[in-house]
Amino acid sequence: MPTFSASAFQRLTGLESRPQPSVIPTRLPVVMMHGFGIGGSLRRGGHLHEQAMYLRMRGVRAYAPNVSPYNTVRARCQTWQAHIEHILEETHSDAVTVIAHSMGGLDARFLIAQMGMHEHIKALVTVSTPHRGSTLANLVLKQPDAVRSWLADITDWMGTHIIEDGSANSLQTVRELTPSFMKHSFNPNVPDHPDVAYWSYAGQAGRDTPVPLTPLLRYFNTHLYEREGINDGFVSVESARWGTFKGTVDADHVRQVGMDAGFGGANFDANAFYAQIAMQLRSAGW
């Protein structure tokens, strides 16, 4: 029988004394809210499901529900509210924290300011949310009528069929994502609530950054860069800043939710990123 030292045998077997990952004992459940579009819905479980399951393996009571991906904030929030009420009941908790990607952050702000959910949402962390809109919305609205109608028909059809009881109003949603609407209508009517903590992250990739960009976002990235500066292909850093700004994420908009569109080329761990946010929530007492 071969003779091995204890250390050599351990290296050979790779057996660790504590093989399970450390838990993240957040006090409150974490609700992960997705943004506009069906990209994440093409994966089993939908938007942010994989990240929620990763957090669950670390002891976080994480949920990533899905709502109609091509509808307005007001319409989506009816479903979000029902989801959160279900989570509160299931977990026997009186409050949650929210991590929201992209348009999901606008939904969460509306829930808090206009639907009384400030009593049940203690903290909101937004990731690449267009708090000041996106000039990409203007780009869509400037297309010829026939093109706009064609795009609206396709996205509305997908929005109503991809989820049970789905609904869609994609063209109106795009109108409400313009910088003008956000400045003159949404933000004045959706103020931050003093009882809720607001944190934000922004994404950066492509132009004027060392971060690889998913090729499909190259035109959008350039368009935004010329008008708003550094961005992640959909939302600029400046637009994403809100409340306590926690910094930039070296990932484009789709990689922030664990997608790479099959192109690879970026070293970004979305699961670890959201686990980091959960750790910060835990440290803050939530």
> What are the boundaries of each domain within the chain?
23-283
Tokens for 75, please give them: 């319409």
**What's the pLDDT tens digit per position in 222-237?**
999 999 999 999 999 9
Task: Tell whether the model's pLDDT for residue 155 goes beyond 80.
Answer: no
User: What is the DSSP track for 20-83?
Assistant: SPPP---SS-EEEE--SSSGGGGSTT-TTHHHHHHHHTTT--EE-----TTS-HHHHHHHHHHH
Quote the mean pLDDT of the chain: 89
Burial pattern 255-273, b for ≥16 Cβ within 10 A else e, equals bbbbbbeeeeebebebbeb
Task: Over range 92-96, report the average pLDDT.
Answer: 97
Identify which has the larger pLDDT, 44 or 183. Answer: 183
Cα gap 269→138, rounded to integer Å: 32
Identify which has the larger pLDDT, 12 or 160. Answer: 160
Amino acid letter for position 117: M
Cα–Cα–Cα angle for 202, 228, 168, nearest 5°? 70
Cα gap 230→228, rounded to integer Å: 7
Please tell me the predicted confidence (pLDDT) of residue 264. Answer: 55
Distances (CA, A) of 67 to 79, 82, 154, 162, 278: 6, 10, 18, 10, 22
Task: Tell whether the model's pLDDT for residue 29 goes beyond 80.
Answer: yes
**What's the pLDDT tens digit per position in 157-183?**
766 767 777 676 778 888 999 999 999
Task: Over range 72-101, report the average pLDDT.
Answer: 97
Confidence of residue 97 (pLDDT cuts 50, 70, 90): very high
Please tell me the predicted confidence (pLDDT) of residue 211. Answer: 95
Tell me the CATH number for domain 23-283.
3.40.50.1820
The residue whose two tokens read 């789905």 is 166
Per the DSSP assignment, residues forming a β-bridge with 32 are 99
- Nearest to 36, CA basis, from 188, 175, 200, 226: 175
Cα gap 75→71, rounded to integer Å: 6
Cα–Cα–Cα angle for 241, 249, 230, nearest 5°? 60
Name the H helices within the chain: 6-13, 49-56, 73-91, 103-114, 135-141, 145-161, 170-175, 179-181, 187-189, 218-228, 237-240, 270-283
